[in-house]
Chains A and B, each alone.
Chain A
């Protein structure tokens, strides 16, 4: 594949329904991109427009320097010539073909030898070698999605679009499929655009996140940054959860009631018991309004987490204020009332302690539901 300059370029205007008009512009290089937003934001529609399954009202879609759609120039490349792989929430496997024939479906124009080789490679990558002779109806949900992934990737698409492919799977199968997609992405070095409303999936998979809200891309950047931004909290309705970190499981409390997590480049926290082995990566979220700030001595209290930090800046936001606290390599956003800023003397450089209850720490196996 010539992963030449450009990658994916999207500028689209499209009326989805009277209450939602998309006006979306973004560029994606060869990294895995996440299209994130609340349900009903139009994420799947954007994907359908890029794939060509729906016709955009106006705009432009370019991929690796070639034009797929350009309303101004009257260009609309046929589906069969787009060379875009798509995996769906509903896997859309062909029910009358066995697994092997499903995966081979896009290899019709390849020579027999080349198709055999490609099938073997892709079956290995997606771990479906043992399923090739099976009827589609006999597969589990996770197997079906792996077959769907293999089928989409077999003809070497120039872009892989994923429309919430794990949402119908149970937790373990979700994690497995996301790991699989990551592995495949590396092996095939193919750009991915992945639609989800789940922060955990976004953090686990993406290196660039586009936040879709009100029909527009309102924020873009590394997933953790976008998730922690005020824009994200406002536009996703995922209120006040402003602190999102990747963390590893460090150990279990002997009583079995709590688990210690180590935030990557940051402090350790005690959270309610979590059934994950030490070393597992998880996503940790703490609401900005659930953190208490303190200066001076603290008596014996029930909160499990007392974290030393330095105030980085204080930003007023109408009836509330945002205090940004730095601990090691990570920053926290704490919501307080303006009166607290005055009585604690919160200004940049002041040492504070954050008091966080274990029960205020949410470990995200999945989205905010």
Chain B
């Protein structure tokens, strides 16, 4: 009835990798935005949340211009590695990473801003170095916001349609993610497949929320 589950697994893989990329890039960026003052900070912060307000197809088109064979980044990738991310599942990862990045950045920045720098100074005075302070004080106190951002980003990446479609296309067995397969199933008048895949995607997102909740401390940082 559901048929081929390939698109669902691809979506999971794409969203998982995208979330990994987003958290890896997003933690330092969020920390810089929360802690540093520099000229043009407002502009940088604004550009970084732009994907949130842009229509996904516009975002995808922009990425295509950059990453396509004639784009400046795509052209370089082609000549240097003979590789292209366009119409490849890695393009889907990049597209959903960009589309979902603000979903992590905004709550993560807020979470870091919520950590009292005086607590970090107290930790330093107790003999701890920067890495130790970050891991033992900053991250635990910002944990809720970081996890919430991670879940939001994962869910957004899992459900991305427009941006991914523009960059990676809808090639069954290669770049067709669950969202596209659902769209195609509806067009092909296959309600069983559309409903089944929808249910799976919904369950995956709900599952992510549940997993995230289990990592939360029983009560918030009581400050």
Residues on A close to B: CB < 8 A? Answer: 51-53, 78-86, 88, 90, 92, 94-96, 105-106, 108-109, 135-137, 151-152, 155
Residue B35 at the A interface, CB < 8 A? no
Assess A151 versus B222: contact at CB under 8 Å? Given A94-B137, A95-B141, A108-B132: no
Beta-carbon contact of A95 and B223 below 8 Å: yes
Beta-carbon contact of A105 and B221 below 8 Å: no
Beta-carbon contact of B129 and A80 below 8 Å: yes
Q: How far is the CB of A61 from chain B (nearest CB, A)?
A: 14
Interchain CB contact (< 8 A) of B126 among A53, A96, A105, A135: A105
When distances are taken between beta carbons in the complex, the residues of chain A under 8 Å from B119 are 92, 94
Residue of B nearest to A157 (CB): B125
Residue B37 at the A interface, CB < 8 A? no
Assess A95 versus B126: contact at CB under 8 Å? Given A53-B121, A108-B132: no
Complexed CA–CA distance, A78 and B133 (Å): 14
Residue B124 at the A interface, CB < 8 A? yes
Beta-carbon contact of A135 and B222 below 8 Å: yes
When distances are taken between beta carbons in the complex, the residues of chain A under 8 Å from B217 are 96
Residue of B nearest to A92 (CB): B122
Interchain CB contact (< 8 A) of B125 among A86, A90, A108: A86
Complexed CA–CA distance, A135 and B217 (Å): 12
Taking each of B119, B121, B136, which has the highest tally of chain A beta carbons within 10 Å of its own beta carbon?
B121
When distances are taken between beta carbons in the complex, the residues of chain A under 8 Å from B129 are 80
Complexed CA–CA distance, A151 and B125 (Å): 11
Q: Is the interface of B mostly helix, strand, loop or mixed?
A: helix
Taking each of A82, A86, A92, A137, which has the highest tally of chain B beta carbons within 10 Å of its own beta carbon?
A92
Q: How far is the CB of A153 from chain B (nearest CB, A)?
A: 11
- For B98-132 the 0/1 string (1 means CB < 8 A from A) is 00000000000000000010110111111111001
Chain B interface size, under 10 / 10 to 19 / 20 to 34 / 35 or more: 20 to 34
Beta-carbon contact of A84 and B125 below 8 Å: yes
Q: How far is the CB of B208 from chain A (nearest CB, A)?
A: 23
Residue B172 at the A interface, CB < 8 A? no
Beta-carbon contact of A96 and B125 below 8 Å: no
Beta-carbon contact of A108 and B121 below 8 Å: no
Complexed CA–CA distance, A82 and B127 (Å): 8
Q: How far is the CB of B29 from chain A (nearest CB, A)?
A: 24
Taking each of B126, B219, B222, which has the highest tally of chain A beta carbons within 10 Å of its own beta carbon?
B126
Residue of B nearest to A154 (CB): B126
Interchain CB contact (< 8 A) of B221 among A82, A90, A96, A155: A96
When distances are taken between beta carbons in the complex, the residues of chain B under 8 Å from A51 are 125
Assess A79 versus B125: contact at CB under 8 Å? Given A94-B137, A96-B141: yes
Q: How far is the CB of B93 from chain A (nearest CB, A)?
A: 34
Complexed CA–CA distance, A353 and B116 (Å): 58
When distances are taken between beta carbons in the complex, the residues of chain A under 8 Å from B132 are 108
Q: How far is the CB of B41 from chain A (nearest CB, A)?
A: 22
Q: How far is the CB of A49 from chain B (nearest CB, A)?
A: 13
Interchain CB contact (< 8 A) of B140 among A78, A83, A96: A96
Taking each of B122, B123, B140, B222, which has the highest tally of chain A beta carbons within 10 Å of its own beta carbon?
B122
Q: How far is the CB of A222 from chain B (nearest CB, A)?
A: 30
A-B pairs under 8 A by CB, number: 59
Q: How far is the CB of A115 from chain B (nearest CB, A)?
A: 12
Complexed CA–CA distance, A88 and B137 (Å): 18
- For B31-62 the 0/1 string (1 means CB < 8 A from A) is 00000000000000000000000000000000
Residue of A nearest to B122 (CB): A92
Beta-carbon contact of B121 and A155 below 8 Å: no
Residue of A nearest to B132 (CB): A108
When distances are taken between beta carbons in the complex, the residues of chain B under 8 Å from A105 are 123, 126, 128, 136
Complexed CA–CA distance, A81 and B126 (Å): 9
Beta-carbon contact of A106 and B127 below 8 Å: yes
Beta-carbon contact of A79 and B137 below 8 Å: no
Interchain CB contact (< 8 A) of A106 among B116, B126, B137: B126
Complexed CA–CA distance, A135 and B219 (Å): 11
Beta-carbon contact of A155 and B126 below 8 Å: yes
Taking each of A53, A90, A96, A152, which has the highest tally of chain B beta carbons within 10 Å of its own beta carbon?
A96
Question: 3 nearest interchain CB pairs?
Answer: A137-B222, A106-B126, A79-B124
Residue of A nearest to B126 (CB): A106
Beta-carbon contact of A83 and B222 below 8 Å: no
Complexed CA–CA distance, A81 and B128 (Å): 9
When distances are taken between beta carbons in the complex, the residues of chain A under 8 Å from B137 are 94
Beta-carbon contact of B221 and A80 below 8 Å: no
Complexed CA–CA distance, A38 and B128 (Å): 34
Beta-carbon contact of B127 and A109 below 8 Å: yes
Complexed CA–CA distance, A152 and B122 (Å): 9
When distances are taken between beta carbons in the complex, the residues of chain A under 8 Å from B124 are 78-80
Q: How far is the CB of A212 from chain B (nearest CB, A)?
A: 22
Complexed CA–CA distance, A84 and B125 (Å): 7
Complexed CA–CA distance, A78 and B127 (Å): 9
A/B interface sample: 11 pairs, CB < 8 A: A80-B125, A80-B126, A81-B127, A84-B125, A86-B122, A92-B119, A92-B122, A94-B123, A106-B126, A109-B127, A136-B222
Residue of A nearest to B140 (CB): A96
